[in-house]
Amino acid sequence: MAPDQQAVTRLLKQWGEGDKQALDQLMPLVYDQLRTLAGRCMAGGPENTLRATALVNEAYVRLVHSDVTFNDRVHFFAVAAHLLRHILVDHARGLNRQKRGAGAEKLTFDEAVMVSPQTPAGILDLDEALSRLAALDKRKADVIELLFFGGLTYDETAAALEISAATVHRELRMAKAWLHKELAAR
């Protein structure tokens, strides 16, 4: 494990034990990666009114006020991935309520940039498809969420889900095929 990764895990444990200064030291170490993840999630069209910085700030507030005890860096980013996804979905729902559905576009599935919806309707379509996938096979949905929303590596995803990296690869291939079929049908 790299020194920064070790430091994140150490600070997460100290924070979990009640050390508030650990949180102050932790955030600069994880902020850049959270910002990169948020930027990738927000990549897309001009209709994105939520900015990556606002997304990271909202995720930060939710993480700080959560009752989760983080085991390590991978666990932290797995929880952050879940939060980023739900913040984006909540924001998209709010925008769709404001627009009352007018002008909604279909989400196209692009393997290279899986999570870059062009409209709020796109993130909602993706979220609904991921929810249907989770009902059928939760592990496949978790793999997608950790890799694309969480930015974890295959090895980190494998560790978080307690499976092998080869299984992550197989699950990802199947999940992508299933999502492509689901989203193409919309």
At position 108, the amino acid (one-letter code) is: T
Q: What is the pTM of this model?
A: 0.63
**Residue 44: pLDDT band with limits 50, 70, 90:** low
Q: Is 122 left (phi over 0), alpha (psi -120 to 50) or beta?
A: alpha
Residue-wise pLDDT tens digits, 122-157: 778 888 899 999 999 999 999 998 888 888 889 989
Q: Mapped to the 3 state alphabet, what secondary structure does 138-173 carry?
A: HHHHHHHHHHHHCCCCHHHHHHHHCCCHHHHHHHHH
Torsion 147-150-152-156 (CA) sign: negative
pLDDT at 79: 87
Q: Domain range holding 134?
A: 3-184
Between residues 38 and 112, the one the model is more confident about: 38
Number of domain units in the chain: 1
Between residues 174 and 51, the one the model is more confident about: 174
Report how far apart, in Å, the C-alpha atoms of 170 and of each of 53, 115, 163, 165, 180 are.
Answer: 33, 19, 11, 9, 16
Mean pLDDT for the chain? Answer: 79
